[in-house]
C-alpha cells in the first residue's frame, strides 16, 4: 500500500444541488472529503453539511443486521418472510392491499427496481414516495403546463440572470452551494438583482435587494397580478405566446386587472413594494424564478406553480440563457425518482400511468405479468389506507414517515395497527423503526453504488469507497431478492446497478423518437466498466454523439398533443379564516446544518453546534401579548397534536405566524416532532400536503424548574416533561424542564451517575434552598464528568462556554469553582452561539473582532477564519456585522437569553 490516499469521485447525499465530492481514504482507513473541483454543480465548493460528511461515517447507531420482531435474523429468514407476507396479502386481498413508501434519497437503480416490482409485477400502483411531500406540486404544475415534468433550465442560468426571484425558498440554508454561485455572480455583476418572496425574513434575505414578506399562501394573488401587469405594460412576447402556447386569454381574464392596491391588501405587502417588484420583472428579460417548498407545500401548491409558469410563458422567458422558471429539488435524487416513475400516478421513464399506449409499451418492455391499470394512493392517502385496514402490508425505504408526514401521530398509529411493516434503514435512531416487523439493514452513502439526478437534470454517480459493514446490502438487492422469492426471477436477475441502469436507459429510448423529454438512450448498452467511469451529464442524452440541448422550450416543442404549452387559469383563493381557538399560522421548514429527521447530521457535534434545540420563532408583539419571554418554553398545538419548544422571539417572523423547524424527533427531544401538529390537508391536484400552513394555538409552557447539563455520557433515561439532547464535543448537552418532585440534588445525581464514577467524592455543589436551584459538577481527577445547572427560570449559563468544559482539564480549585459560578473566566471569553460550524466561531467572537476593527466579511475571515471554508455562514456573519440580528445570536444559544 502506498502512503497516498485513495480518492473516489462521488456525489453528496444531501440536497438537490448534487455537489461532486472527493472522498479520500488514507491507508489507515480514515476518510476525509472535499468538493470536487471538476464537478459542474459545485466546482469544488461544499456547504457545512457536505463538509462534515466524513464525521457521519461512524458505525454508531447503524442498523447492521436484519431483524424480525426486533430480534436478529438472517437475510434469508427476513426476505422469505417479506415475500411470503406480501404474497399472502395479495392472494387474499388483491394487489392493492400492499404498498411501498420510498424516498428521493434512494438511488435511481433502487427506485427503478421498486417501481418495476410494484407497478409491473405486483400489479398495483401503490408505490409513492416522500417526494409527494416535496416535489409533487411542481410535477403536477409542469405537467399541466408543459405536458411533461421538465425543468427547462440549468444552474448557469442563475449566474447569467439579471434578476433572480426566489419564491418560498431559503436557498442560503437549503441549497447553499447554489446560493454561493449566485452570490459570486452578483459580486461579479453588481447590477444583478435578487428578490426574495417569503413570509419570514430568512438568512437568504440578507443578500436580497427586495424582500416581499407576504402573508402565507398568497403567492397566487401576487403572480396573477404580475401576469396582468406584464400585459398592461406590453411586456408580453406576442410571438412566443402565439406560436407556442394556448389559453393565454383565459388565464389573463382569471388573473383580473392589475390593481396594485387590491394585490397589496391581499398579500399584506406595501403597494410600493408590489409595484417595484412588478416593474423589475417587466423590464428584465433575463429573469429566473426559483421556487421551492413555500410554493410546493401548499393546498394551492399546483396553482402557485402554474401562476409562476404563466408569467414565464407570457414573456417567452423560458429555456433561454439566464431566463426561465426553476423548481429546485430538495433531495439528492428527487429528480431521479421522478424519472423512474416513483410517484403513484406515473410510470417509468416519464411515461404516464393513465396512458394506455405507455402502459402497453412498458409492459412489453418489462415482459411483465400484471401491469397496474390505475394510479395508486398518494402518500397521505396511503397512510390513511393503512390506518383503516385497506393496506395490510407496507415496505418503507429511505424515509422516516412517523416524523415527516403530516398528522404524524396518526401515521404512527397506522403503522402500529398495520399487520405487516417492513423498514429498510441505515440507522437505528429512527422513530419509524419502532413499528417495523422486519428491519432490513441498508448500505449507506459511501458503501453503495448508483445514480442520482440533481435539480438541473444532471446525472452523477454515487460511488462506494467503503466495504459493506455488518450484513448491510444495497436497497435494490433486497427488492430484487424479494421479487425473486415472489416468483419473478426473470425480471429481477440483476448482477449489479450498471445492469439496472442500462435497462432503464433502454426503456427511456424505447418508442421515444423525441416524443418524450426523458431520453438517456446513449447509455442503453453501458458496461459496468463504462458505468463506473461515467462523468456527470445532463439529460436528454438520446445518443452518445448527440449531446443535445441542455435547455428546453426556448423554441416551444412542448410535450402536449399539439406541442403548445398551456396557460392554466388560476384564481387566488382568500386565505382560510382562522378559528378563535387556533389563531396562529404554523410554518415549518429547515435549518442550515440539519438534514431532515437528523439520523445522519446529528451524529456530529459540529453540525449540532449551530442550533442544538428545537424552537418556535415568533414575533415580539405576539410574545408580549402571550406573556412569553425569550427562551421560555412554548407549546404549539393543533387538533392533531402538540410540540413543546424554545421561544425565539424575533421580528423576522410576522405577527400571527410561528415557524418551527421540521427536524426534531423522539430521538433528540421529548416533544419536538412538529409533524404531529401539522394538518394532513393536501393540494387536490398534486396530493402534496400544505406543510407550511396549519392553524395552531400558542402558549407559554410553564414549568416549575429548568435545567441545563453537559454530560460525558449519554443519559440512559430522560423522563422529564421537556428535554432536548444534542451531541457536544466530548459528550452531550441537555436542556430540560419539569415539575418539582425530586430534590435538585437527587435529580442532578441521577443525571450524573453513569458509569463507575464515585459520586460521593467527586461532586461539588452550590444550592439555594429557597428556590429550586442548584449547580452541580462531578469530577474524576481533573476531568469533568458533567455539570448540571437548575433554576426556577430558563438557565442563564453560556452554552458554548459550558460545552467547551468537557474537553478542558480543570486543575485548580479556582477553575472548578468558576464552573459552578456558571461564568467564563476572563481569560477564556465566551464564544457565544456558534455561527461558523467549520471553525466553531461564535457570535461573541465575531462581535469582539468587529469591535476591534474587523468590519467586513473578508476581515472577519482573515482574523477568525469564520466563513472561509464552506461559506454556509456568510449570510449570518454579514447580518451580525450589520448589527441587525442580535436576537438571532441569542437563538442558537437560546436559553442563554433572559
Ligand X SMILES: Nc1nc2c(c(=O)[nH]1)N[C@H]1C(S)=C(S)[C@@H](COP(=O)(O)OP(=O)(O)OC[C@H]3O[C@@H](n4cnc5c(=O)[nH]c(N)nc54)[C@H](O)[C@@H]3O)O[C@H]1N2
Integer CA distances (angstroms), 90 to 77, 156, 390, in order: 20, 49, 12
Q: Which one of residues 10, 18, 617, 659 is an interface residue with ligand SF4 (CB under 6 A)?
A: 18
| Residue 40 makes contact with Mo ion by CB under 5 A | no
Q: Which stretch binds Mo ion (CB under 5 A): 131-139, 511-519, 737-745, 863-871?
A: 131-139
469: helix, strand or coil: coil
Q: Which one of residues 168, 176, 247, 330 is an interface residue with Mo ion (CB under 5 A)?
A: 330
Shortest distance, position 626 Cβ to ligand X, whole Å: 21
Site string for ligand X, 475-514 (x = CB under 6 A): x---------------------------------------
Shortest distance, position 107 Cβ to Mo ion, whole Å: 16
Bridge partners, residue 9, by sequence: 22
Site string for ligand SF4, 50-79 (x = CB under 6 A): x-----------------------------
Q: What are phi and psi of 17, to 5 degrees?
A: -60, -35
Cβ atoms of residues 148 and 139 within 8 Å: no
Give the residue with the Cβ less far from ligand SF4, 399 or 510.
399
Give the residue with the Cβ less far from Mo ion, 20 or 330.
330
Q: Find, among 164, 395, 404, the residue nearest to 297 by Cα.
A: 404
| Residue 293 makes contact with ligand X by CB under 6 A | yes
Shortest distance, position 702 Cβ to ligand X, whole Å: 26
Q: Which one of residues 53, 140, 197, 281 is an interface residue with ligand X (CB under 6 A)?
A: 197
Q: Which residues of 828-867 are buried (b: 16+ CB within 10 A; e: fewer)?
A: eebbbbbbbbbbbbbbbbbbbbbeeebeebeebbebbebb
E strands within 509-650?
537-538, 565-566, 584-589, 615-618, 633-637, 642-649
Show contacts with ligand X in window 154-183 (CB under 6 A): 167-170, 173-174
Shortest distance, position 130 Cβ to Mo ion, whole Å: 7
Shortest distance, position 243 Cβ to ligand SF4, whole Å: 38
Instruction: Report the partner that residue 538 touches, choosing among ligand X, ligand SF4, Mo ion, none (CB closer than 5 to 8 A by kind).
Output: none
Q: Which stretch binds ligand SF4 (CB under 6 A): 39-47, 84-92, 608-616, 718-726?
A: 39-47
Site string for Mo ion, 278-317 (x = CB under 5 A): ----------------------------------------
Q: Which one of residues 165, 299, 362, 397 is an interface residue with ligand X (CB under 6 A)?
A: 397
| Residue 795 makes contact with ligand X by CB under 6 A | no
| Residue 590 makes contact with ligand X by CB under 6 A | yes
Q: Which residues have CB under 8 Å from 388's CB, separation 6+?
A: none
Burial of 421 (0-12, 13-18, 19+ CB in 10 A): buried
Q: Please tell me the distance from the alpha carbon of residue 775 to that of residue 457, in angstroms, as a whole number.
A: 56
Q: Which one of residues 8, 42, 89, 105 is an interface residue with ligand X (CB under 6 A)?
A: 105
Q: Please tell me the distance from the alpha carbon of residue 841 to that of residue 799, in angstroms, as a whole number.
A: 13
Q: Which stretch binds ligand SF4 (CB under 6 A): 46-54, 133-141, 208-216, 645-653?
A: 46-54
| Residue 20 makes contact with ligand SF4 by CB under 6 A | no
Burial of 297 (0-12, 13-18, 19+ CB in 10 A): buried
Site string for ligand X, 691-720 (x = CB under 6 A): xx----------------------------
Question: In the 8-state DSSP scheme, what is residue 41?
Answer: T
Give ∠ CA 451-456-457 in degrees, rounded to 5: 45
Shortest distance, position 342 Cβ to ligand X, whole Å: 12
Give the residue with the Cβ less far from ligand SF4, 115 or 601.
601
Q: Please tell me the distance from the alpha carbon of residue 851 to that of residue 463, in angstroms, as a whole number.
A: 47
Shortest distance, position 446 Cβ to ligand X, whole Å: 10
Instruction: Report the partner that residue 200 touches, choosing among ligand SF4, Mo ion, ligand X, none (CB closer than 5 to 8 A by kind).
Output: ligand X
Instruction: Report the partner that residue 597 touches, choosing among ligand X, Mo ion, ligand SF4, none (CB closer than 5 to 8 A by kind).
Output: ligand X
Q: Please tell me the distance from the alpha carbon of residue 742 to that of residue 291, in angstroms, as a whole number.
A: 51
Integer CA distances (angstroms), 420 to 89, 156, 542, in order: 10, 47, 42
Q: Which one of residues 34, 39, 49, 132 is an interface residue with ligand SF4 (CB under 6 A)?
A: 49
Q: What are phi and psi of 150, to 5 degrees?
A: -115, 130
Q: Which residues have CB under 8 Å from 727's CB, separation 6+?
A: 602, 603, 604, 605, 608, 733
| Residue 398 makes contact with ligand X by CB under 6 A | yes
| Residue 452 makes contact with ligand SF4 by CB under 6 A | no
| Residue 23 makes contact with ligand SF4 by CB under 6 A | no
| Residue 46 makes contact with ligand SF4 by CB under 6 A | yes
Q: Please tell me the distance from the alpha carbon of residue 358 to that of residue 557, in angstroms, as a whole number.
A: 20
Give the residue with the Cβ less far from Mo ion, 180 or 292.
292
Shortest distance, position 703 Cβ to Mo ion, whole Å: 34
Q: What are phi and psi of 357, to 5 degrees?
A: -65, -45
Nearest residue to ligand SF4, using CB?
50
Q: Which residues of 377-411 are buried (b: 16+ CB within 10 A; e: fewer)?
A: bbbbbbbbbbbeebbbbbbbbbbbbbbbbbbbebb
What's the half-sphere exposure (Cβ side, CA atoms, 13 Å) at 275? 7
The answer to whether the peptide bond before residue 540 is cis (omega within 30 degrees of 0) is yes
Q: Find, among 812, 814, 762, 767, the residue nearest to 785 by Cα.
A: 762
| Residue 15 makes contact with ligand SF4 by CB under 6 A | yes
The helix (run of H) or strand (run of E) holding residue 733 is: strand 731-738
CA 52 to chain centre: 16
| Residue 405 makes contact with Mo ion by CB under 5 A | no
CA 155 to chain centre: 20
Q: Which one of residues 96, 675, 845, 890 is an interface residue with ligand X (CB under 6 A)?
A: 675
Cβ atoms of residues 546 and 523 within 8 Å: no
Q: If binding means CB under 6 A, how many residues of this protein chain bind ligand SF4?
A: 14
The helix (run of H) or strand (run of E) holding residue 779 is: strand 773-780
**Strand ranges across the sheet with 6-11:** 6-11, 20-25, 31-35
Site string for Mo ion, 134-173 (x = CB under 5 A): x---------------------------------------
| Residue 17 makes contact with ligand SF4 by CB under 6 A | yes
Give the residue with the Cβ less far from Mo ion, 330 or 832.
330
Instruction: Report the partner that residue 707 touches, choosing among Mo ion, ligand SF4, ligand X, none (CB closer than 5 to 8 A by kind).
Output: none
Give the residue with the Cβ less far from Mo ion, 330 or 521.
330
Q: Which one of residues 336, 589, 672, 822 is an interface residue with ligand X (CB under 6 A)?
A: 589
Integer CA distances (angstroms), 862 to 463, 847, 850, 869, in order: 36, 15, 12, 12
The helix (run of H) or strand (run of E) holding residue 361 is: helix 356-366
Show contacts with ligand SF4 in window 164-223 (CB under 6 A): 175-177
Instruction: Report the partner that residue 177 touches, choosing among ligand SF4, Mo ion, ligand X, none (CB closer than 5 to 8 A by kind).
Output: ligand SF4
Instruction: Report the partner that residue 662 touches, choosing among ligand X, Mo ion, ligand SF4, none (CB closer than 5 to 8 A by kind).
Output: ligand X
Q: If binding means CB under 6 A, how many residues of this protein chain bind ligand X?
A: 58
Q: Please tell me the distance from the alpha carbon of residue 606 to that of residue 52, in angstroms, as a whole number.
A: 8
Residues near Mo ion (CB under 5 A) are: 134, 330
Residues near ligand SF4 (CB under 6 A) are: 12, 14-15, 17-19, 42, 46-47, 49-50, 175-177
Residues near ligand X (CB under 6 A) are: 15, 103, 105-106, 130, 133-134, 167-170, 173-174, 197-200, 202, 216-217, 219, 292-294, 297, 330-331, 397-401, 403-404, 424-427, 430, 442, 444, 475, 587-590, 592, 594-597, 599, 662, 674-675, 678, 691-692
Amino acid at each position: 500500500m502506498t502512503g497516498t490516499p485513495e480518492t473516489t469521485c462521488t456525489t453528496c447525499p444531501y440536497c438537490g444541488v448534487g455537489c461532486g465530492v472527493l472522498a479520500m481514504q488514507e491507508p489507515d482507513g480514515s476518510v476525509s472529503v472535499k468538493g470536487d473541483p471538476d464537478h459542474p454543480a459545485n466546482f469544488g465548493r461544499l456547504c457545512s453539511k457536505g463538509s462534515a460528511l466524513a464525521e457521519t461515517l461512524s458505525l454508531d447507531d447503524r442498523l447492521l443486521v436484519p431483524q424480525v420482531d426486533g430480534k436478529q435474523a438472517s437475510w434469508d429468514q427476513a426476505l422469505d418472510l417479506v415475500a411470503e407476507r406480501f404474497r399472502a396479502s395479495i392472494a387474499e386481498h388483491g394487489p392493492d392491499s400492499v404498498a411501498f413508501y420510498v424516498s428521493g434519497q434512494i438511488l435511481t437503480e433502487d427506485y427503478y427496481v421498486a417501481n418495476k416490482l410494484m407497478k409491473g409485477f405486483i400489479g398495483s400502483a401503490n408505490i409513492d414516495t416522500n417526494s409527494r411531500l416535496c416535489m409533487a406540486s411542481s410535477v403536477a404544475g409542469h405537467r399541466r403546463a408543459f405536458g411533461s415534468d421538465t425543468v427547462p433550465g440549468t444552474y448557469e442560468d442563475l449566474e447569467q440572470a439579471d434578476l433572480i426571484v426566489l419564491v418560498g425558498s431559503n436557498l442560503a440554508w437549503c441549497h447553499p452551494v447554489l446560493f454561493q454561485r449566485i452570490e459570486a455572480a452578483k459580486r461579479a455583476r453588481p447590477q444583478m438583482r435578487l428578490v426574495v418572496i417569503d413570509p419570514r425574513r430568512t438568512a437568504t434575505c440578507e443578500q436580497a435587494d427586495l424582500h416581499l414578506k407576504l402573508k402565507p399562501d398568497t403567492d397566487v394573488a401576487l403572480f396573477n397580478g404580475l401576469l396582468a401587469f406584464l400585459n398592461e405594460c406590453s411586456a408580453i412576447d406576442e410571438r412566443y405566446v402565439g406560436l407556442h402556447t394556448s389559453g393565454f386569454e383565459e388565464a389573463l381574464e382569471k388573473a383580473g386587472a392589475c390593481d396594485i392596491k387590491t394585490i397589496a391588501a391581499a398579500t399584506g405587502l406595501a403597494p410600493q413594494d408590489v409595484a417595484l417588484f412588478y416593474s423589475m420583472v417587466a423590464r428584465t428579460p433575463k429573469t429566473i424564478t426559483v421556487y421551492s417548498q413555500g410554493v410546493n407545500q401548499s393546498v394551492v401548491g399546483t396553482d402557485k406553480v402554474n401562476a409562476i409558469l404563466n408569467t414565464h410563458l407570457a414573456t417567452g422567458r423560458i429555456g433561454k440563457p439566464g431566463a426561465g422558471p426553476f423548481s429546485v429539488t430538495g433531495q439528492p435524487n428527487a429528480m431521479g425518482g421522478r424519472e423512474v416513475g416513483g410517484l403513484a400516478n406515473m410510470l417509468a421513464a416519464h411515461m404516464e400511468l393513465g396512458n394506455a399506449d405507455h402502459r402497453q409499451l412498458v409492459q412489453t418492455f418489462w415482459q411483465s405479468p400484471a401491469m397496474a391499470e390505475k394510479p395508486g394512493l398518494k402518500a397521505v392517502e396511503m397512510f390513511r389506507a393503512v390506518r383503516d385496514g385497506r393496506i395490510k402490508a407496507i415496505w418503507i425505504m429511505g424515509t422516516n414517515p412517523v416524523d415527516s408526514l403530516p398528522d404524524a401521530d396518526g401515521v404512527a398509529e397506522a403503522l402500529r395497527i398495520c399487520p405487516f411493516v417492513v423498514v429498510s434503514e441505515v440507522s437505528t435512531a429512527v422513530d419509524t423503526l419502532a413499528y417495523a416487523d422486519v428491519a432490513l439493514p441498508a448500505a449507506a452513502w459511501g458503501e453503495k453504488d448508483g445514480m442520482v439526478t440533481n435539480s438541473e437534470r444532471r446525472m452523477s454517480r454515487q460511488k462506494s469507497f467503503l466495504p459493506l459493514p455488518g450484513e448491510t446490502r444495497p436497497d435494490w438487492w433486497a427488492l430484487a431478492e424479494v421479487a425473486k422469492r415472489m416468483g419473478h426471477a426473470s425480471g429481477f436477475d440483476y448482477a449489479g446497478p450498471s445492469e439496472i441502469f442500462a435497462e432503464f436507459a433502454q426503456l427511456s429510448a424505447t418508442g421515444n423518437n423525441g416524443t418524450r423529454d426523458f431520453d438517456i438512450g446513449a447509455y442503453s448498452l453501458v458496461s459496468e466498466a463504462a458505468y463506473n467511469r461515467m462523468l456527470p451529464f445532463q439529460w436528454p442524452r438520446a445518443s452518445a454523439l448527440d449531446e443535445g440541448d441542455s435547455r428546453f422550450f426556448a423554441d416551444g416543442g412542448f410535450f402536449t398533443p399539439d406541442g403548445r404549452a398551456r396557460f392554466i387559469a388560476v384564481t387566488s383563493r382568500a386565505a382560510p379564516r382562522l378559528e378563535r381557538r387556533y389563531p396562529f399560522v404554523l410554518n415549518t421548514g429547515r435549518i442550515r446544518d440539519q438534514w431532515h429527521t437528523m439520523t445522519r447530521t446529528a451524529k456530529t457535534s459540529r453540525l449540532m453546534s449551530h442550533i442544538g434545540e428545537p424552537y418556535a420563532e415568533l414575533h415580539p408583539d405576539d410574545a408580549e401579548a402571550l406573556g412569553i419571554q425569550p427562551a421560555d418554553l412554548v407549546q404549539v398545538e393543533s387538533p392533531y397534536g402538540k410540540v413543546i419548544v424554545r421561544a425565539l422571539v424575533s421580528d423576522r417572523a410576522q405577527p400571527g405566524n410561528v415557524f418551527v423547524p421540521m427536524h426534531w424527533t423522539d430521538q433528540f427531544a421529548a416533544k419536538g416532532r412538529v409533524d404531529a401538529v401539522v394538518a394532513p390537508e393536501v393540494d387536490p391536484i398534486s396530493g402534496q400536503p400544505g406543510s407550511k400552513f396549519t392553524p395552531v394555538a400558542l402558549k407559554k409552557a410553564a414549568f416549575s424548574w429548568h435545567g441545563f447539563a453537559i454530560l460525558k455520557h449519554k443519559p440512559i433515561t430522560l423522563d422529564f416533561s421537556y428535554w432536548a439532547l444534542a451531541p457536544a464535543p466530548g459528550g452531550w448537552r441537555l436542556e430540560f424542564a419539569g415539575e418539582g418532585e425530586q430534590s435538585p440534588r437527587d435529580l442532578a445525581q441521577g443525571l450524573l451517575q453513569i458509569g463507575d464514577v464515585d459520586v460521593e467524592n467527586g461532586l461539588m455543589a452550590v444550592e439555594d434552598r429557597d428556590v429550586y436551584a442548584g449547580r452541580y459538577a462531578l469530577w474524576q481527577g481533573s476531568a469533568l464528568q458533567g455539570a448540571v445547572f437548575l433554576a426556577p427560570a430558563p438557565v442563564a449559563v453560556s452554552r458554548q462556554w459550558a460545552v467547551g468544559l468537557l474537553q478542558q482539564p480543570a486543575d485548580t480549585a479556582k477553575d472548578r469553582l468558576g464552573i459552578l459560578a456558571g461564568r467564563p473566566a476572563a481569560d477564556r471569553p465566551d464564544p457565544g452561539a456558534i455561527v461558523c460550524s467549520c471553525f466553531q466561531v461564535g457570535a461573541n467572537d465575531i462581535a469582539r473582532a468587529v469591535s476591534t476593527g474587523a468590519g467586513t466579511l473578508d476581515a472577519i475571515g482573515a482574523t477568525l477564519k469564520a466563513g472561509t471554508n464552506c461559506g454556509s455562514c456568510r449570510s449570518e456573519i454579514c447580518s451580525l456585522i450589520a448589527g441587525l440580528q442580535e436576537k438571532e445570536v441569542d437563538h442558537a444559544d437560546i436559553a442563554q437569553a433572559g
